[in-house]
Amino acid sequence: MERILIIGAAGQIGSELTLKLREIYGNDNVYATDVKDAPADIKAGGPFQLLDVMDDKHLIHFVIRHKITQIYHLAAVLSGNAEKLPVQAWHINMDSLMNILEVAKLVEDVKKVFWPSSIAVFGASTPRQMTPQVTYMEPSTVYGISKLAGERWCEYYNKRYGVDVRSLRYPGLISYKTEPGGGTTDWAVEIYFEAIKKKAYTCFVSEETLMPMMFMDDAIEATVRLMEAEHASLSAHSAYNVSGPSLSPAMVAADIQRHIPDFTMEYAPDFRQQIADTWPRSMDDGNFRKDIDWKPVFDLITITDVMISEIRKKIKASLT
Ligand code: SER
């Protein structure tokens, strides 16, 4: 029987992945944890506890006490925020991963670890169209450097200690349940919320900035399938490229206008423009699709339709 620990259960990915894993493995077998309070459905649907992944002693006790077999480590400081406090962000992103890898090495019950990597591992020397799985990687952000170092550590622990750690290089994730914070791809979420609330959005990257994106449901499905796959069928033990559609602010704005014709956009690129300019415009995720038999379901039109209707429901519910 699997017993799962989720670190970062209150975040953008965690708040949705926790519910999916509870559906698969049973509510009581999925321990949601975070350093902050979690949404009501996470707390009501199964065990939730405050846990700081930086506290290695508390972490190992928790894992042993609850006989944890799989760990999903989703906590991180995203790219934009990490540039504001580089040393602290490096410390949080790297030390938390090292704590998890050490626990997985030391505690025999722990059989698998999931840790997300990112398109941020790439940099200015990387080919930006259909970025290959293996290519030049010279990230220029603290977040990207921590993700690339993390990928190398994951592979190291896999090869040297047999820790079965799996990872995906997520593109920008679009979702309505929990908004991300401090990322360079956050505009693709903010734009929908602002379109509904104000019929206007000022975007922090320029209109033609094309970035790989993926709807959260596709990201969750990809993650679950990766974790369920036989170890022998995996060709990458660091991290796989994975992606849905590549989108620019102009493309998303035009699609929102199908629902909100008087929606207007303005552009005020900030420091995140320079980050976006070093990241891929599209990703070649052929290796993952071949190994896992997965492909994304959501395109721009279906993403927009779901985002608009779900955010409207959410706002209506908050008013009643
Ligand atoms: N969404 C992340 C960010 O923008 C990239 O993985 O920081």
Query: Which residues are near ligand 1 (CB < 6 Å)?
Result: 78-79, 118-120, 143, 170, 172, 183-185
Q: What is the DSSP string of the chain?
A: ---EEEESTTSTTHHHHHHHHHHHH-GGGEEEEESS---HHHHHSS-EEE--TT-HHHHHHHHHHTT--EEEE-----HHHHHHSHHHHHHHHHHHHHHHHHHHHH-TT--EEE--EEGGG--TTS--SSB-SSS-----SHHHHHHHHHHHHHHHHHHHH--EEE-EEE-EEE-SSS---S-SSTHHHHHHHHHHHHSEEEESS-TT--EEEEEHHHHHHHHHHHHHS-GGG-S-SS-EE----EE-HHHHHHHHTTT-TT-EEEE---THHHHHTTS-SSB--HHHHHHH-------HHHHHHHHHHHHHHHHHHHH-
Q: Ligand 1: which atom is nearest the Cα of residue 78?
A: 7
**Residue 106: which CATH number?**
3.40.50.720
Q: Which of 31, 72, 136, 143 is catalytic?
A: 143
Q: What is the pLDDT of residue 320?
A: 84
Is 124 part of a structural domain of the chain? yes
**Shared domain check, 41 and 82:** yes
**Shared domain check, 180 and 93:** no
Q: How many domains does the chain have?
A: 2
**Shared domain check, 154 and 252:** no
Report CA(183)–ligand 1 centroid distance (Å): 5
198 is in which domain, residue-wise? 173-213+244-281+299-319
Is the per-residue pLDDT at 238 higher than 90? Answer: no
State mean pLDDT over 53-69: 98
Is 49 part of a structural domain of the chain? yes
**Shared domain check, 155 and 12:** yes
Give the end of a domain, one of 224, 241, 258. 241
**Residue 206: which CATH number?**
3.90.25
Q: Ligand 1: which atom is nearest the Cα of residue 172?
A: 1
Is 165 part of a structural domain of the chain? yes
**Shared domain check, 102 and 63:** yes
Q: Does the annotation mark 143 as catalytic?
A: yes
pLDDT confidence tier of residue 246, bands split at 50, 70 and 90: very high
Report CA(26)–ligand 1 centroid distance (Å): 30
Is 292 part of a structural domain of the chain? no
Task: List pLDDT tens digits, range 161-184.
Answer: 999 999 999 999 999 999 999 999
Task: List pLDDT tens digits, range 114-171.
Answer: 999 999 999 999 999 999 999 999 999 999 999 999 999 999 999 999 999 999 999 9
Reported pTM: 0.97
**Shared domain check, 264 and 131:** no
**Shared domain check, 196 and 158:** no
**Shared domain check, 203 and 189:** yes
Give the end of a domain, one of 226, 241, 256. 241
